[in-house]
A and B are shown apart, each in its own frame.
Chain A
């Protein structure tokens, strides 16, 4: 998880649990990933965004998701909402830029979908992409899997 100030990174690092008896998180092959643990699934110029299994596992039980407005714009690397667990608030960083065409209203009633189904029913926003070239700067599943392993090994 990225950090801007020391306390946030320390707080974020507390979310990193020892890998003592935890199975590896699922990483899906046809998605792309950023280094703050969001995924994007592209379909033409339309993209669906959510947080990864690795992220939800570290976050714990999600109790609230702050969703952006339909029609607002997101920019790659900027935050567009937040996910709250019992003890922590985490910004959601968009892996792509574009216009938000749909948000997952189900999350208002069932924030736990993010934990139960991070890649399917726990999707967060759907975006009309501005610039498909942005996807090149994202990680594929192999790079992301390695990235997670390296991050977990540091703690």
Chain B
């Protein structure tokens, strides 16, 4: 057996970005807890993270949707912007309509570069007009902080009132699945039934001062919980105990399967510096006012694509044969190359191959037949709407 691609999409990309094989891996506050619970630790973005526990990635993924999963995502970078000009400042860097966000709500957004390409994706929340809380990818931490920091300096030099704080004193946990809210409700007095998808609260959970966002990376109802680092293990234990073992510690392997089933991008695979949010199918995340006014890096490119349509588009595929993997070529029926797969794998919940990739505009409509080349052989594929597995976001009744 020659291992040719465990988390190929993630690890190969990361070994290109992070040639720090010799640097010691960082550990989250839950490292010992993972090992004690059978976690299989692997390097990820410079951290030692659990790829799975005793149960298989398949079982873990299915369990998250049937019951719930608890994920250590403390490797991700949480930060806050403070000051009267927090909103106008951040609006120069992201596509979201932050001014229009109701306080205590957030959204997925994209940090863009001068060419309209994606620097990173992020969940950004307007806590109040002078406080923005955001979480960026672990793999992009250094790049993002350098980018934000540089722009912050120039903004302040022009008299802007904004400062930042990186929340290294906190750890992020993700609790996802149908049992997420019921389990968490045991641990807090706040009524979670009126907290909807995208909303944010600062509250006590299990006696700890937490930042809670009703969001996630699985398509299920769930939360991301920012807890003081020294309380992270106790909170994790409390959550697992309250669920009577139904919510299980879940690793990065299942996390990747879950997000793929939910049709969510993985930065570094499905979104990169040369891909715009329009091409990635995230035009909905560009605020209406932002579409009219611009004012973010790369706006001219993006606004033009909104008007004329992008040349390539991100789509989902079902395919036959072996699972399509990142960089597999997509061809039309005559064998001509029309695109490339950016993420793919076997869906534990649907029990079939799913993949995401980019194809030439015009060939992106659901039902379009194509071929995906795996190890040189073409296999039938069909463009499919995403999410592959229906999402269960907790939205207010209509």
Instruction: Report Cα–Cα, A14/B322, bound state, in Å.
Output: 21
CB–CB B3/A3 < 8 A? yes
Binary A-proximity of B15-37 (CB < 8 A = 1, otherwise 0): 10000000000000000000100
- Give the contacts of A28-44 with B (CB-CB under 8 A): 36-38
CB–CB B345/A38 < 8 A? no
Instruction: Report Cα–Cα, A63/B54, bound state, in Å.
Output: 19
A84 within 8 A of B: yes
CB–CB B15/A83 < 8 A? no
A55: B residues at CB distance < 8 A: 1
CB–CB B11/A11 < 8 A? yes
Task: Sample 17 A-B pairs with CB under 8 A, ordered by A number.
Answer: A1-B2, A7-B11, A10-B43, A15-B3, A18-B40, A20-B35, A38-B1, A59-B1, A60-B52, A60-B56, A61-B58, A66-B375, A86-B61, A87-B345, A88-B7, A89-B322, A90-B3
The size bracket of the interface on B is: 35 or more
Q: Do A14 and B7 contact each other (CB < 8 Å), given the known contacts A2-B2, A89-B325, A93-B2?
A: yes
Contact check: which of A2, A51, A88 meets B6 at CB < 8 Å?
A88
B257 within 8 A of A: yes
Please list the residues of chain B having a beta carbon within 8 angstroms of any beta carbon in chain A.
1-8, 11-12, 15, 35, 38-43, 51-52, 54, 56-58, 61, 253, 256-257, 321-323, 325, 345-346, 348, 375
Q: From residue A142, how far is it (CB to closest CB) to chain B in Å?
A: 21
SS of A interface (majority): mixed
Q: From residue A76, how far is it (CB to closest CB) to chain B in Å?
A: 15
A146 within 8 A of B: no
Most buried by B among A10, A13, A18, A36: A10
Please list the residues of chain A having a beta carbon within 8 angstroms of any beta carbon in chain B.
1-4, 6-15, 17-18, 20-21, 36-38, 51, 55, 59-61, 63-64, 66, 79, 82-93
A11: B residues at CB distance < 8 A: 3-8, 11-12
Instruction: Report Cα–Cα, A35/B93, bound state, in Å.
Output: 52
CB–CB B58/A12 < 8 A? no
CB–CB A92/B12 < 8 A? no
A-B contact number at CB 8 A:
125
Q: Do A12 and B40 contact each other (CB < 8 Å), given the known contacts A21-B54, A38-B1, A63-B346?
A: no
Contact check: which of A17, A60, A90 meets B2 at CB < 8 Å?
A90
Q: Do A51 and B1 contact each other (CB < 8 Å), given the known contacts A66-B375, A86-B345?
A: yes
A18: B residues at CB distance < 8 A: 35, 38-41
Instruction: Report Cα–Cα, A12/B6, bound state, in Å.
Output: 7
CB–CB B322/A66 < 8 A? yes
Contact check: which of B2, B51, B58, B257 meets A91 at CB < 8 Å?
B2
The 8 A-B residue pairs with the shortest CB-CB distance in the complex, in nearest-first order: A12-B3, A88-B6, A63-B346, A91-B2, A17-B40, A90-B1, A14-B42, A61-B58
Contact check: which of B40, B43, B253, B323 meets A64 at CB < 8 Å?
B323
B51: A residues at CB distance < 8 A: 14
Instruction: Report Cα–Cα, A148/B40, bound state, in Å.
Output: 18
Q: From residue A144, how far is it (CB to closest CB) to chain B in Å?
A: 13
CB–CB A84/B323 < 8 A? yes
Instruction: Report Cα–Cα, A18/B256, bound state, in Å.
Output: 21
CB–CB A1/B3 < 8 A? yes
CB–CB B1/A4 < 8 A? no
B3: A residues at CB distance < 8 A: 1, 3, 8-9, 11-15, 88, 90
Q: From residue B363, how far is it (CB to closest CB) to chain A in Å?
A: 26
Instruction: Report Cα–Cα, A14/B2, bound state, in Å.
Output: 12
